[in-house]
Amino acid sequence: MTDLSGKNVCVTGGGGFLGSFLVDALKRRGCSRIFIPRRREYDLTTESGVSRLFTDAKPQVLFHLAAVVGGIGANLENPGRFFYENAIMGIQLIEHARRAGVEKTIVVGTICAYPKFAKVPFREDELWDGYPEETNAPYGIAKKALLVQCQAYRRQYGMNAIYLLPVNLYGPRDNFDLESSHVIPALIRKCIDARDAGVNQLVSWGDGSPTREFLYAADAAEGLLLAAERYDGSDPVNLGSGEEIAIRDLVPMVAKHCGFEGEIVWDVSKPNGQPRRKLDTTSAERMFGFRAATSLSDGLAATVAWYRENR
């Protein structure tokens, strides 16, 4: 068991959505020496930025959460940027962690790394059984390369680097920008904006047939901490809720929480994305005792309430 409370802990992406919940959870664990690099001071896509980070932070434990992310539209518009920046950040951070002798490195991957037609539920040992869904493949492959790096460094250098695969996240503090947000925050904003404007119709992308699994961000942060404390293996591990829901069922569910009572229209000219997403979450429970605590309905209620108060 790794005791994090007395360590120098660095959290890349600690000022972001998931990172903010992880930092809160670290503080509840008694961690007082938490270093959160900001991009304006530490550009992690550059060698100089990464080198300066390790000089200043002197981490004993490194959580790598920083990523360039977005929904289907953002992925379609920025495939080169999403590939390069995510790959180069992770590759350089893991290499510098090796050189610095960091005691433990926790790398956060993405469900987008799974094959487009992966068997459901997604099992970690089937991660390489096909090509990812095309719209987010550059992002998914860039992040999956970091798993290979972690495993290679473990074999050659004995580096303790673990790799976790969280499912789609949501919750308070999420990104609600319609140009770059993921499905749940985008839906919440659209529903509340439509309701407030008196609009009686909501347009959703695709035909509603894809399924997704969602994990409340505070639960995901707890999963990261449990893995950091209790897991030292080379195999990737899924983090999820175990709940699968079709988008055609999710949209009216979000609309109800937002008080939107108008018609939902499906724009089938827009892409659906990956057909199904549901993780096999048994490894996380077996390896380090993680189970999601927040139901989708409760999580949506909390997220909608936060957005109403903070928009």
Active site residues: 139
Q: Which of 222, 221, 139, 224 is closest to 182 using CA atoms?
A: 139
Q: Please give the sequence-ordered ranges of beta strands (E in DSSP) within 209-282, or none if there are none.
A: 211-216, 237-239, 244-246, 263-267
- DSSP string spanning 243-256? -EEEHHHHHHHHHH
| Residue type, position 59, single letter | P
d(CA 164, CA 47): 25
Greatest Cα-to-Cα distance within the chain, rounded to the nearest angstrom: 62
Say if CB 30 and CB 5 are below 8 A apart.
yes
Nearest 5°: the CA angle 221, 286, 106 is: 40
C-alpha gyration radius of the chain: 19
According to DSSP, the residues that pair with 213 across neighbouring strands are 244
Token representation of residue 44: 């992690």
